[in-house]
Structure 1
């Protein structure tokens, strides 16, 4: 089954309010099909990707709801989003941790899918068939020679 979350934490994903959340083949293609009945889940962590912010603004202009997962009260997404979920990114390493934002996105997508399990399953199966037809994922582990 495909994941209901973002492929990486600096992407945006559009998903219908009444259906299972699915990643669009491209972020822009997802917004082309989206309308006022849809919600955009925008995840952006410092440094904030311009593309994610522009997609969130485009979603707002289309009348879509915008939910943001971000790391700061001063994140540029705060000015666009209807709802903002703040996630800590501090880590003892040199890099910020992205795990909290990923966990929140998984929970949100799971809760949404649970609202209509039959439609979510149908949407996931349709996405799986589509990705299989496009030969998107490898089904075998390459062997070293």
Structure 2
């Protein structure tokens, strides 16, 4: 099955229940399942990175994020984990990075004071949570910039995106693949940090205060060298 037909078949199985019944048969061995998953993850990751390298969408998104006054990150359900991952990396090197998780920071608070210099990075994967769609739509209508990381060019927020980053999530499992999404988070945070003038200072200050707050245990490598 070629990549296009594989993606098309994958999109025809919208729920984890549908994919479980399709992909896990009683006669499949653990070794067979493992081989299929590994092959599929390599293919999805390679396809995603090759396409992004050709389009330049990630550097454009990084430039938009770097130039923003405030950076908001949002995602619901499984996509909330992607939002937390990107937030952890970006907030280490940039100021004014906020996770719009509906608890510490609510959509209402975000939308109350949107400026054209603000950017929302929205993770929106099938089956496309309505909370993220509403937040992205209203943020865009309020004049903010929108970076959408999604699995389809036809996703609900795709048409409103200032920059659209498409990842391939087709999987040999009942769950859509997270491999390419995690790689894009890493790539996006790396490109943004590389151009940030204050990154080195912020990382140094974080190291200083992490030591003051005793966040981590002793450096075993350092002890071995001394």
Distance of 1:106 and 1:31 partners within structure 2: 27
Structure showing greater Rg: 2
Aligned to 1:10: 79
Distance of 1:123 and 1:59 partners within structure 2: 30
The answer on 1:45 being equivalent to 2:120 is: no
Quick one: which of 89, 98, 115 aligns to 1:23?
98
The answer on 1:66 being equivalent to 2:177 is: no
What TM-score does the superposition give when structure 1 sets the normalisation length?
A: 0.64
The answer to which structure has the higher strand fraction is 1
The answer to which structure has the higher helix fraction is 2
Q: Structure 2, unaligned stretches of length 5 or more?
A: 1-71, 210-214, 217-226
**Any conservation in 2 of the 1:5–1:106 contact (CA below 8 Å)?**
no
Aligned to 1:78: 158
Q: Structure 1, unaligned stretches of length 5 or more?
A: 130-137, 140-145
Aligned to 2:173: 93
Distance of 1:102 and 1:87 partners within structure 2: 10
What TM-score does the superposition give when structure 2 sets the normalisation length?
A: 0.44
Aligned to 1:111: 191
Q: 1:61 to 1:5 in 2, by over 3 A?
A: closer
Give secondary structure in 2 for the equivalent of 1:73.
coil
Distance of 1:99 and 1:124 partners within structure 2: 30
Distance of 1:5 and 1:101 partners within structure 2: 14
Per-residue CA deviation, residues 4-56 of structure 1 (Å, 9 max, x unaligned), is 976875246899xxx45733342524454542112111111100010111111
Q: How many residues of Structure 1 are paired with residues of Structure 2 in the alignment? A: 124
